[in-house]
A and B are shown apart, each in its own frame.
Chain A
Amino acid sequence: MIVAAGWYMALAAALFFIGAFGLVLRRNALVMFMCIELMLNAVNLTLISAGRALNDLNGQVAVFFVLVVAAAEVVVGLAIIVAIFRRRATASVDELSELRG
């Protein structure tokens, strides 16, 4: 028996919104970053299940590119977080408000 693509889509939607809510509710830059990764993974799941349902391999190639871009994003994002921490000794985004008008 095969699980319909709609169930995978529903799971991906749930994961995406948990990630989005975490992004809104948490103030720790690292945890916010993990929530972004969670949202990216939810989108990957929709791409793969849609690709399978439509019998198209290009969905998996798209996921491959998303993985590469996410890896690059993590490298730069974590470097920025470490640079901010060395300057300000905080990982909370609420403390970083010098640019406020």
Chain B
Amino acid sequence: MAESILFVLMAVGALVGAVTIVAARNPVYSAMGLLGTLFSMAVLYVLQLAHLVAAVQVIVYAGAVLTLFLFVIMLIGVDKSEDWDEKLPYQRALVGGLGGLIALFAGALTVSDDFDWVPAATITIPEATNGTIQAIAELLFTDWVLAFEATALLLTIAAAGAIGLAHYRRGQE
């Protein structure tokens, strides 16, 4: 019961945050919507026993990434909110059509009541998927150690690239 209540609350929070990202005119409000979505999803991760991923989500995403977003928004200036009346020749029609198609698909799925495409979706609480630090680390440093090292390389390259981009104009002039 507790999971159902928390799921509904956090699902509503995530959806409201997502709509805020898209609909807000001020990019700062968009960032706040992203923050709400990220926190709601962290709670959803905890509900699904993904404890380490939830912690990383809050620390890396809500902490570092969102701060970076806010820095850049402040750097670029928040007063440049765009106009919703600008010309978008076909984008609105595209979104409307796609949204209608998706709603139709979801409706058909609900009517046919065929949600069993995830096998064993109704099993009781599993024990092996309790995502503690120890359990994740065991997988990460055995089966996925090569991918883990590759991400270390990727992060180094990304940091070097960001520094290179920051110095770009100095070389130009």
Is the C-beta of B1 less than 8 angstroms from some C-beta in chain A?
Answer: yes
Is the C-beta of A96 less than 8 angstroms from some C-beta in chain B?
Answer: no
Write out, one digit per residue, whether chain B residues 83-110 have a CB within 8 A of any chain A CB (1) or not (0): 0001010011011001100100010000
B86 close to A27 (CB less than 8 A): yes
In angstroms, Cα B121 to Cα A30, docked, is: 37
Is the C-beta of B68 less than 8 angstroms from some C-beta in chain A?
Answer: yes
A11's contact among B4, B14, B82, B147, by CB below 8 Å, is which?
B14
| Distance (whole angstroms) from the CB of B102 to the closest CB of chain A | 6
A83 close to B151 (CB less than 8 A): no
B91 close to A52 (CB less than 8 A): no
In angstroms, Cα B20 to Cα A22, docked, is: 10
B158 close to A72 (CB less than 8 A): yes
Chain A residues numbered 29-80 whose CB sits less than 8 Å from any CB in chain B: 30-31, 33-35, 37-38, 41, 44-45, 48-58, 60-61, 63-65, 67-76, 78-80
Given known contacts A6-B118, A11-B11, A41-B38, A82 and B72 CB-to-CB distance under 8 angstroms:
yes
Interface size of B by CB at 8 A reads 82
Complex interface: chain A residues within 8 A of B37 (CB): 15, 38, 41
A83 close to B165 (CB less than 8 A): yes
Interface size of A by CB at 8 A reads 73
Complex interface: chain B residues within 8 A of A80 (CB): 165
Q: Give me 17 other A-B pairs in contact (C-beta within 8 A), A15-B18, A30-B30, A72-B151 excluded.
A: A11-B11, A11-B44, A22-B22, A24-B94, A24-B95, A28-B82, A30-B73, A31-B27, A37-B34, A52-B126, A54-B118, A61-B136, A64-B56, A65-B144, A65-B147, A68-B151, A72-B154
Chain A residues close to B by CB (< 8 Å): 1-11, 13-15, 17-19, 21-22, 24-28, 30-31, 33-35, 37-38, 41, 44-45, 48-58, 60-61, 63-65, 67-76, 78-83, 85-87, 90-92, 94
For the complex of A and B, the 3 pairs showing the least CB-CB separation, nearest first, are A22-B22, A72-B158, A6-B115
Chain B residues close to A by CB (< 8 Å): 1, 3-4, 7, 11, 14-15, 18-19, 21-22, 27, 30-31, 34, 37-38, 41, 44-45, 47-50, 52-53, 56-57, 60-61, 64-65, 68-69, 72-73, 75-76, 80, 82, 86, 88, 91-92, 94-95, 98-99, 102, 106, 115, 118-126, 128-129, 131, 135-136, 139-140, 143-144, 147, 151, 154-155, 157-159, 161-162, 165-166, 168-169
21 contacts between A and B (CB under 8 A): A1-B3, A3-B7, A7-B7, A18-B22, A33-B69, A34-B30, A41-B38, A48-B45, A48-B50, A53-B120, A55-B120, A55-B128, A61-B144, A63-B50, A63-B53, A67-B57, A74-B69, A75-B68, A82-B166, A83-B168, A85-B75
